[in-house]
Structure 1
Amino acid sequence: MIEKVNPSHPDKVADRIAGAIVDLAYKKEENPKIAVEVLLGHGVVNLIIESSVNISNAEAEDIVSRITKRTDLKVSLVMVAQDPILASNQDGGIRCGDNGIFRGVPLTEEERTLSKIAHDIYERYPSDGKYVLGNGKLIICQSNAKTEDLKKLYPNAVINPLGDWVGGTDVDAGATNRKLGSDMAQSVSGGGLMGKDLSKADVSVNIYAFLKAQKTGKPVELFCAIGDTEIDGKPYREIVEIARNYITRIGGFEKFAEWGLF
C-alpha cells in the first residue's frame, strides 16, 4: 500500500518553501551549506535556517507569498550561521555531511499507479489532496472538487469520506519532511530529503540509492558516517554530482519538493 500527497498539501507547501530557499542559496554561492525547517499553518509561517549564506526577511517573505499565493501570512524567520564544527567538515573537499542509513527500493506497479493518479487529479484540481492505494482499494481526498464529479472519474474509489472540503494551511498545519512515504515510497530511511544542500547525505545518498535501485531492479542499503569520503565504492563527491545532476534535470530543489522521488 502507498500514500501520495500533492504539491498543495500543507506538508508539501512547507517542503516547497524550504526547497525554494535552498535554490536561492545556490544562486548566491556555488556550494552553500544550508538546512531549512518550515512549520506553517493558520496564518503563520515559521522558518529556521542554518546556512553559510544569508537569506533576508524580504527574500523569505517573497518566496512564501509566491508559493502560498497569499500576502497576509506572518513570516517569522530565524537565520543563523551553520555550526562551525559541522562547517569545517567540508574544508578542503566534499565529504559526507551526516551520519545515517539509507535504502533504495524499486518502485512497485501499485506505487507507479498511485503516482499517476495523483498527478492526473492534481492537473485537474490544483489544490490540497491526499491519495491512498492498497489491496485494490483507492481512497481519494481532494479539496475544492465536487465529490460527485470525482466519482464519475473514479467510480470504484472511496472519495472525500467527509464530503466536499476546502483544504489548505488554514485547515491543517504543514511541516518539512513529514511526508517521507509520499516522497520515497518504500525507500524511507534515515533523515528527510527536503530543505538541505547536496553535501547532506539525507539528500544525496537517498537520491543515489533510489536511482540505483530503479536502475538495477534490486534493493540498495547503504550507511555512512559524517566525514566519509567514500560510499558504495564511490568517492562522495561523485554521489553528490549524481544527485546534483538529478536535481538540475528536474528543475531545482523547489521542483523536487513538489512530488519527491516519484
Structure 2
Amino acid sequence: MRSDFLFTSESVSEGHPDKVSDQISDAVVDLFLSKDPEARVACETMTTTQRVVLSGEIRCKGVFENGEWAPGSLDEIEQVVRQTVREIGYEQDGFHWETLIFENHLHGQSAHIAQGVDASGNKDEGAGDQGIMFGFACDETPDLMPAPIDYSHKILERMAADRHSGAAPFLEPDSKSQVTLRYKDGKPVAATAIVVSTQHAEGYDKGEKEAELKAYVKSVVAGVLPDGFISDDTAWHINPTGSFVIGGPDGDAGLTGRKIIVDTYGGAAPHGGGAFSGKDPTKVDRSAAYIARYLAKNIVAADLATRCTIQLSYAIGVSKPLSLYVDTHGTGTVDDATLEEAIGKIEKLGGLTPRGIRTHLGLNKPIYRKSAAYGHFGRTADGDFFPWEKTDLAEDLKAALA
C-alpha cells in the first residue's frame, strides 16, 4: 500500500436521522432480549417529520407468540421508542418524543427462516443469513482503529456530552464530522481538513453567536486530535452551508442501516454490506462482524501484526463458517495462513458458529443500543457492553501458534 497519502472518514451524531433510526431499532432489540435471551428480532425503523414507523419480524417468549401480542407489550414498545427519542434530545416542533406519531408494523418471524436457523435433533443452530463479514484493526490509535474514523467519532461524542450537560446549550442533536489526515510512511501525522456541521439554536448562524459556535467546535477538535495535528495549513469547514436550525428527522428522513461505513471503519477496511442495528445476534451480519473485529484486534494487540483484516462467510441455516481469511497486509510476524490455523485451534471460539460466537462474547443480552451511535468498534469494553473490544484472546493466539 502507499505510504504517503490523504485519507478521510466521517461520522454522524446520535441525532442524525439515520442514527435515530438505528438507536430505536436497537432499543427494540434490547427490549426483546431483556424478556427472552433467545428472542429473534429484525426491526427496521423509519423516521421523518413527527413520525416513527417500525416494521420487521420478531419471535419472543412472553411478548409475541403464536401470532399474538402479550397484554401491554405494544404499549411497552411505544414507551421504549419515545424514551429513546427523548434521551437523544428531540423536543422540537418537527420531531418531539412526546407528540410524534408512532406506528408499529412488527409481526411474527417467517417459519421458513426459523426452521433453517433453529437447532433441532442433530442439527446445530444455523446462521440467520448468508453473507460475508469483515473485521479490522490497526495500531494507528490506542483503540486500534483507523485514525480518521476514530477522531471523527470522538469529536461528535464530546459535542454531544457538552449538549447533554448544558455546557454547549446552543447545540441541537443533529451533527456530522469529517476528518482528513495526511499519512507519511503509513502513519497519520497531520489534519489537512476538518468538516463539522452541527444543528444549532436560532441565531447561531451570524455575528458573534456564529463566531462563538465556530470557536467552540475548533476547541473540541483541538482536544481530540493529537498535539501537532492542527496547524495553520488545516482547512476548516464549520457549518459550511450556513444556517442549520432544521435538522434530524424533520430535515431528512432516517432509516435503519444506512450508515454502515460510519458504524465500522470509515472506509479504511472492506465491508460485507450487512447492517448491524435492529438485528438479534443470530444474524451473522452482526455477530460475525463483531467476532471478526475481536479476532483482528487481538492479533494486533498480541503484536502479531500492526494491521489486520479478517473475512468470514456463512450460509443461511448452516452453522460452521464457509471460509476464514486473514490478511495482515505484510505486517505480520507469522504467516497469514498460520494465523488462520491458530484461530481454528482455539476451542473457546466454538468453531466460529453463530452459537459459539454468541456464547464466547455473551451477545444474548440487551447491550446494543449503546453501539448504535459513534461506531460499533473502537469503543471501551465495559461489563457486558462491547465485549468484542476486549483483548483477552491475545495469549490464546500466542499459545495456538507455539
Residue in 2 aligned with 1:129?
Answer: 175
Residue in 2 aligned with 1:72?
Answer: 99
State whether residues 10 and 148 of structure 2, in contact with CA within 8 Å, keep that contact through their aligned partners in structure 1.
no
TM value normalised by structure 1: 0.90
Whole-Å Cα distance in 2 between the matches of residues 168 and 182 of structure 1?
Answer: 17
| C-alpha displacement of 1:187 | 4.6
Q: Which runs of 4+ in 1 moved over 6 A?
A: none
Residue in 2 aligned with 1:110?
Answer: 148
Candidates 230, 255, 258, aligned match of 2:370: 255
Of structures 1 and 2, the one with the larger relative CO (CA 8 A, separation 6+) is 1
Question: Residue 9 in 1 paired to residue 88 in 2?
Answer: no
Residue in 1 aligned with 2:299?
Answer: 216
Residue in 2 aligned with 1:159?
Answer: 238
Candidates 76, 97, 115, aligned match of 1:88: 115
State whether residues 19 and 254 of structure 1, in contact with CA within 8 Å, keep that contact through their aligned partners in structure 2.
yes
Matched-pair identity in %: 29
What amino acid does structure 2 have at the position aligned with 1:152?
Answer: A
- Cα 1:59–1:49 shift into 2, 3 Å: farther
| C-alpha displacement of 1:162 | 1.8
Whole-Å Cα distance in 1 between the matches of residues 115 and 262 of structure 2?
Answer: 34
| C-alpha displacement of 1:211 | 2.1
Residue in 2 aligned with 1:139?
Answer: 195
What amino acid does structure 2 have at the position aligned with 1:239?
Answer: I
Whole-Å Cα distance in 2 between the matches of residues 190 and 244 of structure 1?
Answer: 24
Relative to its length, the structure with more helix (as a share) is 1
Q: Paired residues, what number? A: 259
State whether residues 28 and 81 of structure 2, in contact with CA within 8 Å, keep that contact through their aligned partners in structure 1.
no
- Cα 1:134–1:220 shift into 2, 3 Å: same
Whole-Å Cα distance in 1 between the matches of residues 250 and 294 of structure 2?
Answer: 36
Residue in 1 aligned with 2:80?
Answer: 63
Whole-Å Cα distance in 1 between the matches of residues 110 and 132 of structure 2?
Answer: 23
Whole-Å Cα distance in 2 between the matches of residues 131 and 215 of structure 1?
Answer: 29
Residue in 2 aligned with 1:39?
Answer: 46
Greater Cα radius of gyration, structure 1 or 2: 2
* Helix, strand or coil at the partner of 1:211: helix
Query: Which residues of structure 1 form unaligned runs of 5+?
Result: none
| C-alpha displacement of 1:261 | 1.5
* Helix, strand or coil at the partner of 1:170: helix
* Helix, strand or coil at the partner of 1:71: coil
Whole-Å Cα distance in 1 between the matches of residues 294 and 113 of structure 2?
Answer: 27
| C-alpha displacement of 1:235 | 4.1
| C-alpha displacement of 1:241 | 2.5
Whole-Å Cα distance in 1 between the matches of residues 125 and 372 of structure 2?
Answer: 24
Candidates 30, 48, 54, aligned match of 2:55: 48
Whole-Å Cα distance in 1 between the matches of residues 296 and 352 of structure 2?
Answer: 19
Whole-Å Cα distance in 2 between the matches of residues 216 and 80 of structure 1?
Answer: 41
* Helix, strand or coil at the partner of 2:102: strand
Residue in 1 aligned with 2:396?
Answer: none
| C-alpha displacement of 1:52 | 0.8
| C-alpha displacement of 1:183 | 0.5
